Structures are given as structure tokens and as C-alpha cells.
Amino acid sequence: AALQLDKITASGGKIFATSGKKADFHTTLKKCKEAGGSIATPSNEGENNAIRHLVKSFNTYAYLGIRESLTPSKFQLLNGTQLSYTNWHLNEPSGKGKEECVEMYADGTWNDKRCYWNRLIVCQF
């Protein structure tokens, strides 16, 4: 099969890829792990743009590897470390403890969201 370049992007040594399938947050974590990677987690603008390219090409949203901490409206990486880079949409995060996951919009900005919606599976390797 020919390599489908719209389904894979790279930035700063990280490769971001999607199968084009959708899943909830927990299934996304599982699928990325099974593929030998982890859920896409942008740590700078370049990586954010690489993920946005995939999200945009499928005209949908994707979960990121960011979770709300025990403090409402305070978000962190899945390993518990602080975010050094954020790209929140205007007036987000707004869930105040009700929306523990984070999705990326087609414009690359972030929104806090409940974890049970089906979003594009984007993994990093």
C-alpha cells in the first residue's frame, strides 16, 4: 500500500500518526499503547501544528494526552507533570472539574471535554 502522507506528520523528533478511526479517551490510550506509542501530547507550537494538520485533514477533533489535575481547571500531563505549553481556545478551560479530558479543535486550539466522546485517535511515536 502506498504511504498516506496525510495520516502522519513529524515535529522535533516526534512522529504523530492517525488511523483515521475514532474512539473515547480511554480506548485511545489503549490503541496508542498497542501500536507502540502514546497519545499525542504537544509540548510546543511545532508539535501542536503537526497534530493540527492531522485533525484538520480529517475535519474533526482529537483528544490530547492532558488531564485535569485534582485541582479543578488545572491541567497537567498524564504523568502528573505541569504543562510547559498550552494553546487553550478563548475562555477555555471552562468545565470546572466536570470536563477532565482535553480535545484539539480543527484550528489547533484546545478545549476541556468529557472523556466519553469519540474523537480522532492521534498517537505519537
Contact 12, 44 (CB under 8 A): yes
pLDDT grade, residue 6 (50/70/90)?
A: low
Q: Is the pLDDT score of 4 beyond 70?
A: no
All structural domains of the chain with their residue ranges: 7-124
Nearest to 62 by CA among 100, 5, 113: 113
User: Which ranges in 4-124 belong to alpha helices (H)?
Assistant: 25-34, 45-57
Which of 4-8, 13-17, 36-40, 86-90 comes out lowest in average pLDDT? 4-8
Sign of the torsion angle spanned by Cα atoms 27, 33, 35, 39: positive
Contact 85, 43 (CB under 8 A): yes
DSSP 63: E
How does 93-111 read in b/e, with b if 16+ C-beta sit within 10 Å?
Answer: bebeeebbbbbbbeebbbb
Segment 33-44, tens digit of pLDDT: 999 999 999 999
Residue 8: predicted pLDDT:
77
C-alpha cell at 115: 472523556
Q: Which CATH superfamily is domain 7-124 in?
A: Mannose-Binding Protein A, subunit A (3.10.100.10)
Q: Is the pLDDT score of 3 beyond 50?
A: no
Segment 69-124, tens digit of pLDDT: 998 889 999 999 999 999 999 999 999 999 999 999 999 999 999 999 999 999 99
User: In degrees to the nearest 10, what's the CA dihedral of 63, 47, 57, 35?
Assistant: -60
